[in-house]
Structure 1
Amino acid sequence: MLIIILYIFIFIVAVQILYYLGIFSKFAFAKTQQTTPNTLPISVIVCAKNEQENIVRFIPLLAEQNYSDFEIVLIDDASSDNTLAIFEEFEKQYSNVRLVKVQNNEAFWGNKKYALTLGIKAAKKEYLLFTDADCYPTSKDWITAMSAQFTAQKTIVLGYGKYEKINNSFLNKIIRFETLLTAIQYFSWAKAGHPYMGVGRNLAYKKEEFFNVNGFIDHMRVRSGDDDLFINQAANSKNTTIAYTPESITLSKPKTTYKDWLIQKRRHIATANYYKKFDKFQLGLFYFSQLTFLILSIVLLAIQFEWILVLLLIGFRYLITWLVIGFSAGKLKEKDVVYWYPVIEIVLIFTQINIFVTNIFSKPIHWK
């Protein structure tokens, strides 16, 4: 029995190494990204619901972008605070702001995809760049950096949306590390020719891609997933690329309590149930191999069975994963969270289990 457990452990380590060296290294060890500025017409689309505090801070940062041909499409999704009034002031202040007012609709009440669909249809430009109302670009060249990745063939661009750093907050390190690991996964799979998701905090695509798959119609009843489910459906090896220059990154306000972050993650994981079969399989196998590696490491070391070999395998696995994550973090300016990697990984493994079990018995709340 112990020999069988050891063989299973060796297999699990091999699976982890395959993920990190076979897939995730494609992003980690990729060359520094070069950009050749485009002058494509861009519509920056922001959908907001009760975001009055954030939009006052962040919309002016979008309006100040160094780009020659862009508009800002502001979508008010039936807000009950002053979001609409503030948007109307922005429309008066900036000549390139277009306002879309969404009324409550019984069939699509509280459905962000419905609001986004109206905004996309109202957009006058051919290329669409999305961010959230609580996000802001790290550079005045954000539009330039994202649009530079468009080519005649590459009509979907996956960007990175990081979270603000909060000093002396371990929860913040967990959130930022989890966001980094997610980006490593979807960037690497995109470079491997199998894009499966993107994030609405920083995502761009040509308008025709939206209409080619009839927009969000196939998953309109799934309240979340305007970003990852759309990409899962529309993206492929030929039409998708990634953007990871420092200028292409956006920042968001992170959750400050474990409870709020857990609710957010429950929505994300519930949405992944609607991915294509292969994508669900590869994600499931990755997280299963993480959990199994941790459990079997503890078991084999506790009983001291072939402990030298086990320690060597554990050390080799951590060396490879730390290198891959470290190089990736350097590209995305997240190096400080890597120092906590082994501890955070354990926290995330048990968080995933908690979310999986909780989602079985109750449905997460979507949008606002």
Structure 2
Amino acid sequence: MSAQTHAQAQAAAQLASLLQQLAIAASNITKSRYTSVAGLTVVLYDILLLSADVWQKPKRNASRYAYFINRYVPPVFLLVANYQLGGFRPALSDQELHDIHILFVAIVAKTGYQRLQSLKSSRALRLLVNILVLRVLALYGSGRVFTTLLYALFAISYGVCFGITVNAVIVIRAGAMYDHRLRVCSIESTPEIFRFIFIAPVFFEVLIGALTLWKAVQHAYVLSNASSAPMLYIMFRDGIAWFIAVCGLRIWNALIWVFLPQSMVYLGIYILWALVSTFVSRFFLNILDVVNSSLIDGFSVEYATVRQKEQNAAIRHQRTFGGNTRSVFAEVSMSAMSSVPGGTAAEASDPLEGEAWTNANHSLSHSEPRRQDTFV
């Protein structure tokens, strides 16, 4: 009887341990569901908040299409993720899970091939992919060595992510199973290489952030007086905000994959998706608003009309230094920096008129800077 009692006690202890693990896993998955809903809420709220501004004057150009791709594609995937993770769908079988993985791999392969083909001819997609690089080129200029190095680092950073993602799809497809108790798909273990999906872009974005911060330090006057050079102010402010928020989220996701239980690997992914989409969209709108009519601060609810100040500064510079084809970006920057005590026009002109902005043909006139709806 004692041996039987001991065996029953062991079985009861094992059952209690299993139930405790299931309870912890269920709690962790619930936390991931909350962050997934939070990410979707951020994206949808931002879309509703800015829909009137976006659709007020719809025009057909590359930047508009790039904005729409970034703005409306991520919410679709976030809706699917919430549907799958939130328990809204019916229970799955292992065979259905296997079929879904096969379909997913086929879609990823086809979409990836089409995306690579479309990048050759679609200016909108190239603009969307290159937005981080273009921002720095606008601040530093576009010399051949600098441009080549920056694009090479960009390609390496996201190429590593793409390779790890392909490996992740293969591993997950082979080892995934459906847990009927928690109603979620799971895998037995998470390969350590997966953490580099979040780490690899950090190195590139740290470089981008450092370059932006260095240029901001050189032109600190602009950060304290946004109306003097609104384009520069937007570039610096949004670049620094992107660096702090997105790099922080990527590092947080990497730490989750390294230190937290497997049931929490989705805790930060959807927040990262949502904020990356939101930041890129706000960056587009802030740039376009400065170029078109007024400086609209996308990170607050206050609107400030300083276009006239920008126009006057640009006209004063043109009359002082003569007419040329420099961009409004460079003209206003030079005029603002020249007004700083101890500053000179030559010092301010280094080399802010990056080719990415010069090619936008933001030329000056004595009456009104030519309106553009794209910034590259």
TM norm structure 2? 0.24
**Structure index of larger Rg:** 2
Higher strand share: 1
TM norm structure 1? 0.24
